[in-house]
Structure 1
């Protein structure tokens, strides 16, 4: 009995010492979070019960709990933010970056900002325990990584109509790399699509313009439809100044005359904004220049968000095709080089082209056009009722109960189409309506992607196919008989949506939000 009593005294003494020494001070509030660590290498003890109690107290952070638990589970519940004596330096680096989230096109809106700030304020440091600090910092890390490196959740992305593959992110692996190389917080192209950093630089540039106060509304002359080289007007002087601010002109001569330097600036502005590169300046161009600077800034921010969704490996593939809907552009890259750029036109209104990824598996020469049921019901049947010769004139025929257009020079698909598996009945094809590409904005399709340089794309894709020499390709295109070439190696194709894009020369290009997706994304990002 005496021995049992002595053992009980020893046990209680050890428990009391552990409870007092746990946090390195006698702050009794720490008992709320104290629980013996499963594996501890610092002055902070963490286990699952500790984490759960923390999130019950800091209830506004509960959505981060599962990620924080996994983070510690993968690290055997060892402290992340403390060494044997104090906070590690990376804690300060992380906090500094969070306070600069505006540079990443985001707002710092995490709950308990005051408590987080107190971690780094010696006057307030005693108000919360080391265990709280540890778990607040881990939550802060998850918050930062989610927002900067990953973006909004997948369901919200799908709300915007974006169905391209999304990258996966391991918070543990990312943290390990950041702890080893903190400079990766500034630039990490293994985690973020390279275009992101180009847009971030553009964001800084446009914010500097905003802060300068030099972006003032331009006066317009409603009676003038267009300005041409040689014209004189006070509006021309304002246009010149605006082009200097945006970087399209190097020098502001303050001249009211539409002179040669201004001509060069106008061409650059038009190229960057998706217009036909010519010299007339119409109201649509002036209205574009006259947009509030905040509009440009928001456009850059939402496109930075889109970059967060893209796996960086996408642009590093040996061969791929990417189509940007707002710029009406297709780019074919192979071995890191752009080997073809072509204009396209796409669907609009109720027939928007879907944003997704697939692989081109077949090239079809002299294709039939199988008329979709919606077009048959809404367009062709009414036309046949009015004109009995409609089918003959348009080279149409019935194929069982479906209608199709025979191969030929007037076929809606042109002389070649590129097939990639998808559930949207979308493919890329040639078009007989080449004049449509001469406008500022190409005409629109029923949802498929019409391509200006389809023949050139077919030549390049089959360049390394000995069985398909150039003369055979041309013959197949003109034969009037549908011929299929199955590709040995399917080519990735990505249909995306960027209204701002920085080119290889470092120039930012802005395109019209033809599907009105930017405002929706702004709401998802900033109006939660």
Structure 2
């Protein structure tokens, strides 16, 4: 079928998370516990196609084992989950989407909605849309007998049920499972709600509205979907050229390779870079100021020191294919789907891979800053929690790993180390008292967790100017701790930020409890889209993308 055959506007339901309950398929590729010939059963029935479809669904599905594979009239197979069997049982085995020799209005819309899975970085073939298309085409061509048409219609009905359920489930919980590859992602998803996806459609809601309700309701996800569409458009136009290696490309140089570099930006997905490159199009082989600015912006977007010249790192990123970038976006869209649908009206979000923090209020970042995160051997974990307290002039209780691995060996040869660094032994541990050289600076943001991770100030503020900022032992150092403390206290306490300034006149340790706790999400995202649509890609500093590649190749393949 070439495209939508119906244009219908249905009422949009309230946006909410959808249940993984009685209608969600659990897994598309489950073991074949049983193979049932739905096609053969269907073609043995009579000629009244609407009645035959219902009778055959009943006859076939009542004897189908849960999580079986059914052979369709077309010869294709489909996994039939227990959820699908229950769905048809509650309908009295009546077809949900078929009508005569094809689909009814709702079925057409379900078919179209599943075909748009690529808009979320998902392959429609994962939901057997290609099989549905072939079966629908066969029905449209009118060459099937009544018996054959009935078989195709019943099989198509089951196929759409399974496909739509699985697509909805993937939008709710994600397609990949980080724990399958030994990666920690300690953030629970929403508990299921009573409303179910197919029930919503049968109650009159448009399928695309139902899918919209299953997606994460956060602007980060919507922005990344828009970025995906831009890169898909670039791919459809043929991508971008490879910039030649072996030449020094820098401002002032004239070379045919510069013209290729300019074309690389003109064919890319970033409109600002394209506009800058277009400024010098009349003299395309000259590395002019506009091209220098385009390179600097590209370097910013790809976490490279922005000197405006095409060095080795810049050339490597320039020559990554659009297919590679689409894979990055698909993977990170799935990471957003691993989160709860609602993050809260106000929250702190840390992106480990991007070395950045945002304070978000009503869907917009009201403050952002650079951060320093853990080194690979002391990786900052991914988890969610709530900030409960800000400590002004905090003590630093040295973690045992640092005390045993760094301080105690130094102390053996330098007995004065503790006193010079304002440290004291307390019980079996070491505490650094508040003061100008305290490792936590003036502020510590506390959200109790098993890893003893927190946000804090630092006297080593020179690290924030670096592009790569993985230097800590796991905690998160803040570029603008004073500003964040003031804003959080203004928003989350009744007394506000005025209470801070008197406390900064000396080094007395003072905890301030928040009257309203603040959610914090510590995530790992190697692709990021800013509010203005700028797309940034970050190095896979912890190797998480690499660990997920086998799953992604299977479950997030390029769209057909």
Q: Tell me the TM-score normalised to structure 1 length.
A: 0.82
Match of 2:64 among 53, 57, 67: 53
Equivalent residue, structure 2, for 1:164: 187
Alignment correspondent of 1:295: 324
For residues 496 and 181 of structure 2, the distance between their equivalents in structure 1, rounded to whole angstroms, comes to 40
Cα distance change of structure 1 residues 48 and 524 upon mapping to structure 2, 3 Å threshold: farther
Q: Is 1:95 the counterpart of 2:111 in the alignment? A: yes
C-alpha distance in 1 between matches for 2:210 and 2:81: 26
Q: Which residue of 2 aligns with 1:13?
A: none
- CA shift in 2, pair 1:323/1:29, >3 Å: same
Indicate the residue corresponding to 1:489 in structure 2: 516
Cα separation, partners in 2 of 1:424 and 1:263, compared to 1, 3 Å: same
2:264 aligned residue: 242
Shift, 1:351, TM fit:
1.1
Larger radius of gyration: 1
Q: Tell me the TM-score normalised to structure 2 length.
A: 0.77
8 Å Cα contact 2:441/2:459 also seen in 1 = yes
Secondary structure at 2:81 match in 1: helix
Q: How does 1:356-505 map to 2 (within 5 A)?
A: 356-463=383-490, 465=493, 467=495, 469-470=497-498, 472-505=499-532
Distance 1:486 1:295, change over 3 A: same
CA contact (8 A) 2:179 2:185 kept: no
Does residue 71 of the first structure (1) align with residue 84 of the second (2)?
no
Q: CA RMSD in A?
A: 3.5
1:41-72 CA-partner distances (Å, limit 9, x unpaired) = 99615569824527646289886513224434
Q: Kindly tell me: are residues 111 and 105 of structure 1, through their superposed partners in 2, closer, same or farther at Cα, counting changes over 3 Å?
A: closer
User: 1:215 maps to which residue?
Assistant: 240
Q: Distance in 2 between matches of 1:147 and 1:372?
A: 40
Give the structure 1 partner of residue 303 of structure 2: 274
Contact 1:29 1:129 (8 Å CA) reproduced: no
Inter-partner Cα distance in structure 2 for 1:149 and 1:511: 25
Report SS of the residue matched to 1:344.
strand
Match of 1:44 in 2: 54
Residue aligning to 1:21: none
Maintained 8 Å contact 1:365/1:482:
yes
User: Where does 1:3-402 land on structure 2 (aligned, <5 Å)?
Assistant: 29-30=41-42, 44-45=54-55, 50-53=61-64, 56=68, 58=70, 65-72=81-88, 78-82=94-98, 87-107=103-123, 108-109=125-126, 114=131, 117-122=134-139, 123=143, 125-126=148-149, 128=151, 131-152=154-175, 156=179, 159-168=182-191, 173-179=196-202, 180-182=204-206, 184=208, 188=212, 191-193=215-217, 194-221=219-246, 224=248, 227=250, 229-246=251-268, 247=270, 248-250=273-275, 251=278, 253=281, 254-275=283-304, 279-314=308-343, 317-402=344-429
Task: Identify unmatched segments of 5+ residues in structure 1.
Answer: 1-26, 35-39
- Contact residue 347 and residue 447 of structure 1 kept, 8 A: yes
Structure 1 residue 413 displacement after superposition:
1.0
Query: 2:528 matched to 1:511?
Result: no
Q: Deviation per CA, 1:67-106, whole angstroms, max 9, x where unpaired?
A: 2244346656554224699632232333344445444323
Q: How many residues align?
A: 491
> Is the contact between residue 32 and residue 53 of structure 1 (CA under 8 Å) also seen in structure 2?
no
Counterpart contact for 2:176–2:334, Cα < 8 Å: no
Deviation of the 1:355 alpha carbon: 0.9
Q: Distance in 1 between matches of 2:61 and 2:482?
A: 65
